[in-house]
Structure 1
Amino acid sequence: MDQPNLDPFEPEYFLKMAPAYRDKLVYFPTIDSTNLEARKRLRGPHGPREMVLVTDRQTAGRGRLNRTWEAPFASGLLCTLALPLAPLSLDRAYLYTASVALSLLESAWREGGVELQLKWPNDLLRDGRKCCGILAEIEHGLGPNRDESWLALGFGLNTGLTEADFAAAGLTGRAANVFPPGLTVDREAFLAATLATLENFRVQLAEDPETVRRAWSEKLVTLGKPVEVRNMGGTLQLEGVAVGVDPNGGLQVRTAEGKLETVQAGDVSVRLAGGGYA
């Protein structure tokens, strides 16, 4: 059986491929949460600045809907990007998250020839099993005039977990590594490629954000499928067919009665009708 690569992240190796990030990269062998650290630093005495925080292990990692997640040392690419919200408005902030998701999809293809799927709003799947989640949090009232908003965009990409790890977390058949067995993930190269693609998306966000929304929408495997919408407690709220996304990133669901309902990402979990994940 292939053994996953669990070597620590090497900052200098990464910086050889991405020298523009020398003053932005912050590496921790272990930390509670890169998102928490990014938010603390954004509010720190030196003011907000762009950062890339990377760790090999989180002890208090969180996902969407405040779900917790902890994995073995160096078994994932765990990263948070600190970026200014401008030039986007708050209701379009989801496009930064969408841009990160699209950048990760591109890296999986370029680095390993693996085509991932994108589940609304921003879970990455390989063969229907989740391999990456993205969590966006916003800090307001920053900058010299206390009028700036900044994002902490965190993602956790599974790269070196075993089936035993997934079983221990109760995720057998539901989670996977980004690459299939036999392919090794060069985490430093994967991150460098992702950041390079993200810079291109940031240009698009400044010039024509609608192009990013369309690109994200076209990648969503959720669309066209029957879905169940459940609240944080697991109670069924809505059933129907996912038919599109609105300008603010909400999922549009057509019910059996023909009514069009819009679902916001922060409120619910969306699954395929019958229990599937996508």
Structure 2
Amino acid sequence: MLNNIRYEYYESVDSTNDRIKSRAHENENQGLVISAGQQTAGKGRIGRKWESPSHDSISTSILLKPEEITLEAIPTITVVAAMAVRDALYRIYGLNGLIKWPNDIVLDGKKICGILTEMEMKDGKVWFVIVGIGVNVHNKSFPEEIAFKATSVDLELAKAGGTHGHRQELTKEIWNSFAKYYNIFIETQDMSGLKEEYEKYLANRGNRVRIEDRENSYEATALGINERGELIVEVEGEERIIRTGEVSVRGIYGYI
């Protein structure tokens, strides 16, 4: 169970995931959170770079040491983390985001969050897991190539005449929410206790989507998720299972 979260903050690091990894190699206990005002080498899914402008966004990672967890259950932790970010944004700011499978949080059709889960093995077992989360908070603009699909807490609050976000407050709420969902997940190592809530906020559900991997691209209808957190889609009347990893899911006419 995750119940002893400890926080460390640094003005600048190469990557909060890499900093956590170093501490894990020093036998740090589960529950350490490292956050930074800026990342110089942040990472995203499928080898992408995650931009972290100085003090505009949240860059934060946690160390997990789940006992006797199966390899098949590890990708599901990313799905659990997405639920935590969505929950925290709603609890603090009333921002009612959706989840674009598997782990992007979208507000008004634009992405506000990125999540990257990594792990290491030792003696044939999972040694530790790292969950890294990046949230756009104070960003007022984005590079041209992502401006059409990116947003921030401050930009969304401004639409409703609100004030601005607070990175420290949101960081702690995210990890508090994560502990709540993670402890439900770890009991069964699947989404059986969380599936209903996750699907309630699944942006892709019922929509036509484009599935893209390194070899193929095809259209399908997103139906929901299974207990492993994998996406269930329908292709020409037949159901298929889409696994997290080297796969991208896009809307036919836009980001979602």
Distance across 2 between alignment mates of 1:244 and 1:117: 13
Q: Kindly indicate whether the alpha-carbon contact (under 8 Å) linking 2:202 and 2:224 is maintained by their aligned counterparts in 1.
A: no
Query: TM-score of the superposition, structure 2-length normalised?
Result: 0.88
Match of 2:179 in 1: 199
- Farther off after superposition, 52-61 or 246-255: 246-255
- Farther off after superposition, 195-204 or 216-225: 195-204
Match of 2:148 in 1: 173
Q: What amino acid maps onto 2:220 in structure 1?
A: G
Is 1:84 the counterpart of 2:65? The answer is yes
Instruction: Write the deviation string for residues 127-146 of structure 1: whole angstroms up to 9, x where unpaired.
Output: 010000111011111xxx77
Question: What are the equivalent positions in structure 2 for 1:1-278 lying under 5 Å apart?
Answer: 21=5, 24-44=6-26, 46-86=27-67, 88-141=69-122, 147-163=125-141, 166=142, 168-179=143-154, 180=156, 181=158, 182-208=162-188, 209=190, 210-232=192-214, 236-255=216-235, 257-274=236-253, 276-278=254-256
Query: TM-score of the superposition, structure 1-length normalised?
Result: 0.81
Q: What amino acid maps onto 1:267 in structure 2?
A: E
Instruction: Write the deviation string for residues 187-242 of structure 1: whole angstroms up to 9, x where unpaired.
Output: 1111222222222223312445511233223321111100111125xx65221111
Instruction: Write the deviation string for residues 170-197 of structure 1: whole angstroms up to 9, x where unpaired.
Output: 2122100034224311111112222222
| SS of 2:228 mapped into structure 1 | coil
Q: What amino acid maps onto 1:224 in structure 2?
A: G
Q: Kindly indicate whether the alpha-carbon contact (under 8 Å) linking 1:92 and 1:248 is maintained by their aligned counterparts in 2.
A: yes
**CA separation of 1:146/1:242 partners in 2, compared to 1, >3 Å: closer, same or farther?**
closer
- Farther off after superposition, 94-103 or 49-58: 94-103
Q: CA RMSD in A?
A: 2.1
Structure number, greater radius of gyration: 1
Q: Kindly indicate whether the alpha-carbon contact (under 8 Å) linking 2:98 and 2:106 is maintained by their aligned counterparts in 1.
A: yes
**CA separation of 1:146/1:43 partners in 2, compared to 1, >3 Å: closer, same or farther?**
farther
Q: Kindly indicate whether the alpha-carbon contact (under 8 Å) linking 2:69 and 2:126 is maintained by their aligned counterparts in 1.
A: no
For this pair of structures, how many residues does the alignment match? 246
Q: Kindly indicate whether the alpha-carbon contact (under 8 Å) linking 1:112 and 1:183 is maintained by their aligned counterparts in 2.
A: no
